[in-house]
A and B are shown apart, each in its own frame.
Chain A
Amino acid sequence: MDILKKSFKKSIWVFHLSAAACNNCDIEVLELLTPRYDIERFGMKLVGSPRHADALLVCGAISAHAKPRLLEVYRQTPKPCLVVLFGSCGCSSGIFRDSYSIVGPVDKILKEEDPDVKIVYIPGCPPKPEAMIEGIVMGLGAL
């Protein structure tokens, strides 16, 4: 079982969930796939279906409309899975914090659903690609 757990850390498939973000973080994610950063070195790749995902990359402050969809995608993801919140909005709702339509930061919503969810925070607006790689690697170390 130990070798399977080790291989989990060597092969993280990422599903990118843009929950009402401003698109700034989404563009930064694409930079991870370019020759300069190339996350496939670490065995990570972007997948199209949450069923294949090992890490959910969530960005955006969650509005009332986005909340049920976020929870749905989290339930669809096979466990164990890592949730990576990136960007200021994902980590803490950012400048939209007290807006009428915002139901709270992502971690609060996910902890109501599943108390032992594993979360990594990567702040920044948007975070640099180096910071994203470092964040995911540190999250894997803590797993």
Chain B
Amino acid sequence: MKLVIYYLIYPGFVFASIIGLLSTWFDRKLSARIQWRQGPPWYQSFADIGKLLYKEVIIPKEANRSGFIVAPLFGLAAVTLAVTILGVGMINPTAGFIGDIIVVWYLFAIPAISLIYIGSTSGNPLSSVGVSREIKLLLSYDLPMVILIVMVASKVGGFTIGSITEWQRINGSLIGHWYGVIGFIIAIFCIQAKLGRVPFDLAEAETELGSGILMEMSGAVLAAYVLSQAIALFGLSYFLIILFWGGVSGGIGILWAILKYLLIMVFLILLKNTNPRLRIDQAMKFFWGWMTGGAILAGILAYLGV
């Protein structure tokens, strides 16, 4: 019973989707202000979801009917589970299991996999271009991020969320050290790519492929995707806070957590608004070259304790 409440209400589905949709609005509003525009009202993301639920769902002729509808729900369920594991790790640090931090990272990969499934089943040529890019991107940002997670885990001497936050509570956050700063910057780029936001939005590529991988999604199917994207935006920023920035503690710590969260959001939004889209070869070179090199450097610095 308790697990159901954790999963569906707090810190799972309802809580995460409200925060995620508000963060999506914050993203659009701040982008508009950067471009000297007014921007949408605060309820915009909720209105988008409601509108999409109101619309007809069209399933392409070539598509696998049930798969086309179920795949985005799988993505939504997976990100909700990831956010729940993170949240429960905060409420009760001893509740985690060994390796939960790795499990969370790979649960966040499931929306991308369901998107790949939808894109390839829809039979649209532009979607299939988007699918091939999404697969390459998935392979490229995973390497530096997993190196970073292993670095953090070996530094704190434990593979659970509880041990990471506990270590940082006693010894200060990892971002106070050079390896933490390098790791944090790399992780910001990885998250940007994982969310498919602007410098790495190769799979959608609004101006080049129409909407690429999302081309054939309509109505409630698209709503599930948009919602899982919003939850992932919240969940991944939260993941970053836990990994490098000491997690969330009660009382006044909640205000600090909100401040950290907003700061990460601002980083992500500025990155989105100041960079043009990369080509896929540039993105792969960036992640497998600079970012992986940086992650290994951070690992060495962490070993030396700088």
- Shortest beta-carbon distance from B118 to chain A in Å: 12
The reply to whether B51 and A54 form a contact with Cβ atoms under 8 Å apart is: yes
The reply to whether A54 and B44 form a contact with Cβ atoms under 8 Å apart is: no
Which of A4, A47, A48, A54 contacts B50, CB < 8 Å? A4
- Find chain A residues with CB under 8 A from B50 CB: 3-4, 6-8, 11
- Shortest beta-carbon distance from B82 to chain A in Å: 26
Which of B47, B206, B217, B219 contacts A43, CB < 8 Å? B47
The reply to whether A51 and B47 form a contact with Cβ atoms under 8 Å apart is: no
Residue in chain A with minimal CB distance to B216: A51
Q: Does B38 touch A at the CB level, under 8 Å?
A: yes
Tell me the bound Cα distance from A78 to B46 in angstroms.
Answer: 20
The reply to whether B28 and A40 form a contact with Cβ atoms under 8 Å apart is: yes
| Interface size in chain A (residues, C-beta < 8 A) | 24
- Find chain B residues with CB under 8 A from A7 CB: 46-51, 54
Q: Does B85 touch A at the CB level, under 8 Å?
A: no
Residue in chain A with minimal CB distance to B206: A48
Tell me the bound Cα distance from A51 to B35 in angstroms.
Answer: 28
The reply to whether A8 and B51 form a contact with Cβ atoms under 8 Å apart is: yes
The reply to whether A78 and B51 form a contact with Cβ atoms under 8 Å apart is: no
The reply to whether A49 and B47 form a contact with Cβ atoms under 8 Å apart is: no
Give the segment of B12-20, B55-63, B171-179, B284-292 that binds chain A.
Answer: B55-63
Q: Write the A48-62 contact mask toward B (1 if CB under 8 angstroms, else 0).
A: 110110100000000
A residues 30-66 near B (Cβ < 8 Å) are 35, 38, 40-41, 43, 47-49, 51-52, 54
Most buried by A among B43, B47, B215: B47
The reply to whether B51 and A40 form a contact with Cβ atoms under 8 Å apart is: no
Residue in chain A with minimal CB distance to B219: A78
- Shortest beta-carbon distance from B140 to chain A in Å: 24
- Shortest beta-carbon distance from A17 to chain B in Å: 13
The reply to whether B51 and A11 form a contact with Cβ atoms under 8 Å apart is: yes
The reply to whether B216 and A41 form a contact with Cβ atoms under 8 Å apart is: no
B residues 1-59 near A (Cβ < 8 Å) are 28, 32, 35-41, 43-44, 46-51, 53-58
Interface residues of A (CB under 8 A from B): 1, 3-8, 10-11, 35, 38, 40-41, 43, 47-49, 51-52, 54, 76, 78-80
Closest 4 CB pairs of A and B: A7-B50, A48-B210, A4-B54, A10-B47
